Amino acid sequence: MAESKAKSEPAKESEAKREAREPRALSSEYHKARKQLMLWAAILFIWELVGVDLDKAKEAGGNAGAIIGAIKSPQAVPWVLLILVAYFLFKLTVEWYQCTAQRRTMKAAIVDFRSAWLVAFLAFALYVAQTVTKLQLANLINYDVLVQAFGGASSGLFIVETFYYLPQMILRAAETKRIWWRIIGATAITFLWTGGNLIFIHFKLSGGVNWTSFIIGLTIGGAIRFLFLSRSIIFLGLRKIWS
């Protein structure tokens, strides 16, 4: 008995040292929730992007027609998908915060978690945009729309980054006057970039500014920058210039 205890103690010590060196992996429950979230968010996204004419699908017959014909309220399908995405997004967040704090500080884990949030956000955003505008996004995609969406997305990146860090920089402005130059520079860059995008779109594209496409791009770009906001690129760049 004494020998077995003596053998088990070094094993426990080595295991404790290994855990101290390497944070415990994200839990299996977290991975299950993430898998379900990505699945239902992808289904919702494809359902909304491609669009499904339920009446024509019923008339087509076959297995798909029989399944859709058996659904008593087919218009409720997007609502069911929305509820599933919302539930698994909640479940993912709960499981995330039950993982070890050390693992949650690792960049790979953070990217994994936030990318799942981004996919769910895009699915929600597509549903809301198409419901409000009564338009099918896939039918509207062309060169002009892509350019305007890209311009909006890049502007969203600058706007969210600048105004997220702006209060922090203002609080630190009392330390040195150089920070005020960074604040002025970052704000000016953001407004110039956004204004430049709008001017380019207005004069270069035949239809002028399509505010719907631009705002959708702005929202997506802002959401991406907010979810993956770890450090300020603009303020750090200006710091190197005016250090």
Domain ranges of the chain: 27-134, 141-243
Q: What is the pTM of this model?
A: 0.60
What was the pLDDT predicted at 242?
47
Q: Is 110 exposed, middle or buried (0-12, 13-18, 19+ CB in 10 A)?
A: middle
Please state, rounded to an integer, the average pLDDT across all residues of the chain.
76
Q: Where are the alpha helices (DSSP H) in the chain?
A: 2-21, 28-50, 54-60, 62-70, 77-97, 101-104, 107-133, 137-140, 143-172, 178-204, 211-227, 233-241
Average the pLDDT over each of 59-63, 155-159, 239-243 and give the range with the smallest value: 239-243
Model confidence at 32, in pLDDT bands (50, 70, 90)?
very high
Q: Are 44 and 82 spatial neighbours (Cβ–Cβ below 8 Å)?
A: yes
What was the pLDDT predicted at 226?
75
What was the pLDDT predicted at 132?
80
d(CA 76, CA 11): 56
What was the pLDDT predicted at 33?
93
Report the residue count for the chain. Answer: 243
pLDDT, tens only, 84-137: 899 999 999 999 999 988 888 888 888 899 889 988 988 888 888 788 877 777
Nearest to 161 by CA among 153, 171, 150, 149: 153
Per-residue CA distances from 17 to 20, 24, 27, 101, 194 (Å): 5, 12, 20, 17, 52
Q: Are 128 and 79 spatial neighbours (Cβ–Cβ below 8 Å)?
A: no
What was the pLDDT predicted at 131?
82
Nearest to 228 by CA among 88, 89, 117, 98: 117
More confidently predicted of 18 and 142? 142
Structure tokens given for 210: 């399509």
